[in-house]
Amino acid sequence: MQQKTISLPAPAKLNLFLHINGRRKDGYHELQTLFQFIDRSDILHFTPTAKHTIQITPEIDGVSLEDNLIYKAASLLLPYRQNPCGILINLEKNLPMGGGLGGGSSDAATTLVALNQLWQCDLTTEQLTKLGLTLGADVPIFISGHAAWAEGVGELFTPANPIEHWYIVLTPDCHVDTGEIFSHQRLTRDTPKMKIAPALEGEVKNFQNDCEAIVSELYPEVNEAIQTLNQHGRSRLTGTGACVFAAFESREQAESAFSKLPKSIKGFISKGLNSSPLYVETN
């Protein structure tokens, strides 16, 4: 078998704000958020094999193969596979785990998009999105490939075009437990629902992340990152964290602020993107 490797990005996202509007009877939370991609990605390399199995390298410490979202995503496509080859997936991990950048969800989405092509499944974007939602509420946005306003548990989204700022993203050295945050008794769950128009009109400076107060209290590293970045711009938590970010109008402004941060603070500069790099690569 000719082994032609396809390499595709799994881009990060930012939640430009995150409002929690209530808790449903099934335990999930009603929320409103605005997703935007950034030009920072994991890279996945897909190599067809003759073994008819799903192999993933390298192994992730503490995560079994069956619990790996990449493996779960690939397994969902097995019933639709027209090209019965196996697949070797090598993950080049650049995004922090538990950072709120959507790395695991993005890896799963890229896997669905790539294997839909390699295995000749011929599923539509809508069908892939429905499969992706079974893996997590953030997966559909990465499959859709465009910045979006999201509601429900995050699965109801409308394409949006927020300003493509430059961002400083700080990556505190901790792994935030999303379940712990959403189950916390003092989590704000009553932010009034807002209309979509203000978010689609561009600027979201006055919006907030309802998880930020609890995450800052439970994770001192996150609180330190927020306080540090606040000295140079308005910082916000993305998702349930741990990463925090601040927006700047130009790369020069972001670089200038980044150069003034303590050397002990980890992070990077990134460009906001309303179109996913995944589809730039696949088209």
Q: Which residues are part of the catalytic machinery?
A: 13, 138
Instruction: Give the integer Cα–Cα distance in Å for 221 and 177.
Output: 14
How far apart, in Å, are the Cα atoms of 141 and each of 54, 119, 241, 275?
A: 25, 22, 18, 11
Contact 140, 157 (CB under 8 A): yes
For residue 177, give every residue at least 6 positions away whose Cβ sits within 8 Å of its Cβ, in sequence order, or none.
98
Structure tokens at 131: 């499969």
Contact 137, 106 (CB under 8 A): no
Instruction: Give the integer Cα–Cα distance in Å for 45 and 3.
Output: 12
For residue 31, give every residue at least 6 positions away whose Cβ sits within 8 Å of its Cβ, in sequence order, or none.
18, 19, 20, 21, 150, 151, 152, 153, 154
Structure tokens at 166: 């430059």
Instruction: Give the integer Cα–Cα distance in Å for 223 and 221.
Output: 5
Q: What is the dihedral angle through the alpha carbons of 114, 71, 124, 5, rounded to the nearest 10 degrees?
A: 10
CA angle at 153 for the pair 239 and 203, rounded to the nearest 5°: 50
Task: Classify 106 in phi/psi space as left (phi over 0), alpha (psi -120 to 50) or beta.
Answer: alpha
